[in-house]
């Protein structure tokens, strides 16, 4: 079992948290190499077993695969989740570390949302010094809400 410090140094490349299933692609150091691990629901269809990855964990309802390349891990993640309700790290050179995501999302959600505010995230950015999250409006013609937190804000 990985230690807490090892888990906090993982970088999240993709995630989905749902009421029915969750999935994630995390980056970890394995010696001097980076590896990408997909954790998620088991897919029983034959084409769901990726030939690019190695089976790491297989239990009822969940499987984990380890990939040498990020693109293969993300492709399997999108195939498994169908992209519904997912967050994918695409624009940065590196994915944000879990400790920074946890730190800034806690700060964003400490105050209860206003009457017209939504808690449904559309997009977000995360860095060591701050974070910003764009929320969908509750009503179709209402404005979007952007919340930014950080060290210097």
Report helix, strand or coil for 9. coil
Residues 14 and 37 in one domain: yes
Residues 70, 50 share a domain: yes
Q: What local confidence, expressed as pLDDT, does residue 3 receive?
A: 47
17-46 tens-digit pLDDT: 777 778 889 998 888 888 999 998 766 555
Same domain? 22 vs 55:
yes
Whether residue 107 is found in the same domain as residue 140: yes
* 66-89 pLDDT per residue, tens: 999 988 998 888 888 877 777 777
Residues 77, 103 share a domain: no
Structure tokens at 120: 């449904």
Task: List the structure tokens of 8.
Answer: 């906090």
pLDDT recorded at residue 36: 93
Radius of gyration for the alpha carbons in the chain, expressed in angstroms and rounded: 17
What's the structural domain count of the chain?
Answer: 2
Which pLDDT tens digit goes with each residue over 121-149? 777 777 778 888 888 888 888 888 888 88
Residue 91, pLDDT score: 61
Domain final position from 45, 64, 88: 88
C-alpha–C-alpha distance, residues 139 and 90, integer Å: 28
- Among 62, 88, 114, the domain-final residue is 88
- 23 and 83 inside one domain: yes
Nearest Cα neighbor of 105 from 81, 127, 138, 83 is 127
Same domain, 116 and 79: no
The mean predicted confidence, pLDDT, of the chain is: 78
Q: Residue 145 and residue 133: Cα distance in Å, rounded?
A: 8
Residue 93 in domain = no
Same domain, 76 and 106: no
Is residue 108 a part of any domain in this protein?
Answer: yes
Question: 41, 58, 88 — which closes off a domain?
Answer: 88
Q: How far apart are CA 69 and CA 90, in angstroms?
A: 14
Together in a domain, 83 and 110: no
Do 143 and 102 belong together in one domain? yes
On whether both 9 and 83 belong to a single domain, the answer is yes
Range of the domain at 126: 98-150
Judge if 73 and 108 occupy the same domain: no
Could you tell me which residue, 19 or 5, shows the higher pLDDT?
Answer: 19
């Amino acid at each position: 079992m990985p230690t807490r410090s090892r888990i906090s140094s993982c970088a999240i490349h993709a995630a989905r948290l749902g009421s029915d299933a969750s999935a994630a692609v995390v980056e970890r150091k394995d010696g001097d190499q980076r590896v990408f691990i997909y954790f998620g629901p088991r897919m029983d269809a034959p084409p769901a077993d990726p030939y690019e990855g190695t089976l790491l964990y297989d239990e009822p309802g969940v499987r984990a695969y380890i990939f040498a390349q990020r693109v293969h891990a993300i492709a399997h993640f999108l195939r498994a989740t169908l992209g519904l309700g997912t967050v994918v790290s695409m624009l940065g050179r590196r994915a944000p570390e879990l400790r920074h995501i946890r730190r800034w999302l806690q700060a964003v959600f400490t105050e209860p949302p206003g009457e017209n505010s939504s808690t449904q995230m559309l997009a977000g950015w995360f860095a060591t010094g701050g974070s910003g999250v764009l929320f969908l409006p509750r009503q179709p013609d209402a404005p979007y809400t952007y919340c930014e937190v950080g060290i210097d804000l």
